[in-house]
Amino acid sequence: MSNDIQEIQHDLQLRYPGRSKEISILLGLMGNPSDAVVPSVFIYGHPSSGKTSVVKAVMERTLRRSSWAHVNCVERHTPRMLFEHALNQWCDWTPAWENKFMNVCKADTALQFVKAIQEGVMVGNKKRQLGIDSTLYLVLDRAERLRDMPPTLLPVLLRLSEMTQRNICVILISTVVFEKFRVKGGSYEPLFIRFSDYSKQDTLQIILLDFLASERRIAINPNESEEEENGHGHGDEKGELKIVELDDDFFMSFAEIIYSIFNHNCKDLNELRYFSALLFPLYLQPVQQGRVEVHEKAKLFKFAQPYFAEATGKLYLREISSAEWIKETNELEEHEPTDKPNHTFLAQTQAHEKSGFDLPYYTKFLLLASYLASYNPARFDVRYFAKMGEERRKKKGGGTHKSRAGQPGGGKMRPQLLGPKAFPIERMLAIFYSIIDEPLEDTVDIQLQITSLTTLRLLVRSTNMDRLDSAKYKCNVSFEFIRAVAKSVRFEIEKYLYDFC
């Protein structure tokens, strides 16, 4: 291995902790730009394991930009889009106004794609031959989406080097094992590289890297908290300020707190990094106010504990963007100073819980319908929601539903030991159309509303993405939350819950 490759490997290993083995394998497979490579490589592992980042970093450091193409199979969801996007990158071609936003060439089928590589592509007035002077690499991210394309596409991609008689390597990146890619006719077996899960030490090192660019020198104003309590302005005298420099041990102790609290419920590294960036200013606030010394880790954790306790219930829920959250936190601190340990985060999240995320009107009814479908037995839907059942109740003199305890809406919600049950989307829509009191507007897109609820993790899909015809969901909100949503649209949800007694 040359000195340049060793230097690149060393830099990448420092940049991506826990991925030394994978980086070494990739660099060893690639070799020199003109060396022969394996026809195809399949890289797999859990989400947030650094697959795409490591592969792109290796390509950027070792190859010219025109020697490799990166295609996201979610964005390029048809064979034509995949082929033409790859050819554009290999030819260093960008669709723009000057070229009427045209691709470098047309490639509707795999045959046209193979011919374009073999015969070359016209770039302007000059014909460019691909894959002659150096190896071409085609990186297909989110490769599991290839299964939604024609079944002949994957075998062609895995044997693209053989079919084009060019030195081409196709790299598939996926979170799904290759056994679920196999087709009936068979296909070429790629070389497998597995990205294992990060260890605790690797995770802490990655979180620590996020703070390398942070400001290490902070100003401490011991009188700031006292002035806020008394309603006075902030002290601006230079003699009252004290400059302290934070070391790596301070950031590492914070990373260990983040890992110990959230790792039990969340293995997603991106989520851990998100909360570490969100909570660090609040963790640092007592130090800046002079209440706690930098080395007093136990006291720092005591002040920050309310934040961590509240944040554990907000995993994967993006109620508000980071910029908006910081802005609202600063506004609350300016208008409502307090001498208690930081309560801004609690107040902000409670305010958003009461408002129901500021969901659209019809989306709130969809969420109510999903909650009823999750916690009510399906056999009682006719009793609660059918018009015939409503007419029967009116004939009996009971215009409102009475609970089994004899009092409508009385008592407390019995705990659901098994949690929410999965329900088909058709059942939720049937309940939705039953509880809505007015005709829907023409502009309401029900599918878009369901997608938004799933993105917010208020609905959780319990079936595989491949089963579009029988999709099932679960409602992922608490009773207190759904009651606040129901109150905002004046819907008495207690009257329609089976277990409310």
Residue 42 has pLDDT above 90, yes or no: yes
Q: Which two tokens stand for residue 260?
A: 């110990």
Please tell me the predicted confidence (pLDDT) of residue 469.
58
Beta-bridged to residue 173, according to DSSP, are 43
- Assess whether 382 and 308 both reside in one domain: no
Model confidence at 177: pLDDT above 90: yes
CA 377, CA 383: separation in Å to the nearest integer? Answer: 11
pTM of the model: 0.64
> Average pLDDT for residues 98-119, to the nearest whole number?
91
Q: Are 275 and 260 in contact (CB under 8 A)?
A: no
Distance of CA 426 to the CA centre of its chain: 27
Name the one residue in this structure whose structure tokens are 């902070």: 218
Any domain includes 61: yes
HSE (CB half, 13 Å, CA atoms) of 357? 21
Does the structure show a pLDDT above 80 at 259?
A: yes
Amino acid identity of 225? S
- Pair (59, 84) in one structural domain: yes
Q: Are residues 316 and 365 in the same domain?
A: no
pLDDT band at 45 (very low <50, low <70, confident <90, very high): very high
Q: What are phi and psi of 315, to 5 degrees?
A: -60, 130
For the segment 56-83, what is each residue's pLDDT rounded down to a tens digit? 999 999 998 889 999 999 999 999 999 9
- Residues written for the chain: 501
Please give the structure tokens belonging to residue 380: 């009682």
Is 50 exceeded by the pLDDT of residue 8? yes
Task: Provide the angle, in degrees to the nearest 10, between the axes of the packed helices 344-355 and 479-488.
Answer: 60
Query: What are 7's two structure tokens?
Result: 């230097």
In a domain, 64, yes or no: yes
Distance CA 91, CA 458 (A): 44
Considering the domain architecture, whether residues 270 and 121 belong to the same structural domain is answered as: no
Residue pair 431/380 in contact by the 8 Å Cβ criterion: no
Question: Could you say which of 174, 195, 216 is where a domain stops?
Answer: 195
What is the per-residue pLDDT for 223? 61
pLDDT confidence of residue 17: 94
Last residue of a domain, one of 314, 346, 378: 346
Predicted confidence band of residue 137 (pLDDT cuts 50, 70, 90) = very high
Does pLDDT of 321 surpass 80?
no
Q: How far apart are CA 465 and CA 34, in angstroms?
A: 40
Q: How many CB atoms lie within 10 A of CB 32?
A: 10
Least confident of 49-58, 233-242, 391-400: 391-400
pLDDT tens, 339-350? 444 444 444 444
Which three-class secondary structure state does DSSP give residue 462? Answer: coil
| Torsion sign over Cα 377, 381, 384, 385 | positive
Helices of type H across 63-213: 79-90, 110-119, 153-158, 160-164, 200-209
Domain co-membership, 215 together with 103: no
Q: Which of 258, 260, 274, 203 is nearest to 49 (CA)?
A: 203
pLDDT of residue 348: 45
Answer yes or no: is 279 within a domain.
yes
Residue 274: C-alpha distances to residues 147, 262, 314, 381 (Å): 31, 11, 12, 41
pLDDT score of 462: 80
- Shared domain for 154 and 303, answered yes or no, is no
Predicted pLDDT of residue 182: 85
On whether both 50 and 181 belong to a single domain, the answer is yes
Predicted pLDDT at 346? 44
Residues 341 and 412 in one domain: no
- HSE-CB for 391 with a 13 A CA cutoff: 3
- The pLDDT value given to residue 297: 87
- Kindly list the distances between the CA atom of residue 500 and the CA atoms of 310, 413, 482, in Å, as whole numbers in the listed order: 27, 5, 14
Question: Quick one: pLDDT at residue 465?
Answer: 59
The two three-digit tokens of residue 196, written as one number = 């294992």
- Domain boundary pick from 175, 195, 215: 195
Q: How far apart are CA 328 and CA 355, in angstroms?
A: 15
Higher pLDDT, 132 or 118: 118
Percent over 90 (pLDDT), the chain: 33
pLDDT at position 79 is 95
CA contacts within 13 A on the Cβ side of 453:
30
Where do the H-state alpha helices sit in 152-296?
A: 153-158, 160-164, 200-209, 224-230, 248-262, 269-288
Mean pLDDT of the region 335-342: 44
Q: Are the CB atoms for 59 and 139 separated by under 8 Å? A: yes
Question: Same domain, yes or no, for 43 and 65?
Answer: yes
Residue 427 lies in a domain: yes
More confident residue, 336 or 162: 162
Domain interval for residue 376: 359-496
pLDDT (average), residues 259-268: 83
Which CATH number belongs to the domain containing residue 108 in this structure? 3.40.50.300
Q: Which H/E stretch holds residue 488?
A: helix 479-488
Question: Which residues touch 327 (CB under 8 Å, ≥6 apart)?
Answer: none
Residue 457 lies in a domain: yes
Residue 403 scores a pLDDT above 50? no
Residue 155 domain-assigned (yes or no):
yes
Q: Is residue 81 part of a domain?
A: yes
| Dist CA 384 CA 400 (whole Å) | 10
Instruction: Specify the 3-state DSSP secondary structure of 421.
Output: coil
Beta bridge partners of 460: 474
Tokens of 54: 């490591």
User: Which pLDDT band, with edges at 50, 70 and 90, does 202 fall under?
Assistant: very high
What is the pLDDT confidence band of residue 420, given thresholds at 50, 70 and 90? confident
Q: Tell whether 149 and 25 lie within a shared domain.
A: yes
Structural domain total, the chain: 3
The H or E element containing residue 191 is strand 191-195
Phi-psi region of 95 (alpha: psi -120 to 50; beta: other; left: phi over 0): beta
427-457 pLDDT, tens digit per residue, is 888 888 888 766 666 556 788 888 888 888 8
In angstroms, what is the C-alpha Rg of the chain? 29
Residue at 488 is within a domain: yes
Count of other CB atoms within 10 angstroms of residue 192? 11
Mean pLDDT (the chain) is: 80
Do 140 and 246 lie in a common domain? no
Co-location of 26 and 146 in the same domain: yes
Q: How confident is the model at residue 394 (pLDDT cuts 50, 70, 90)?
A: low
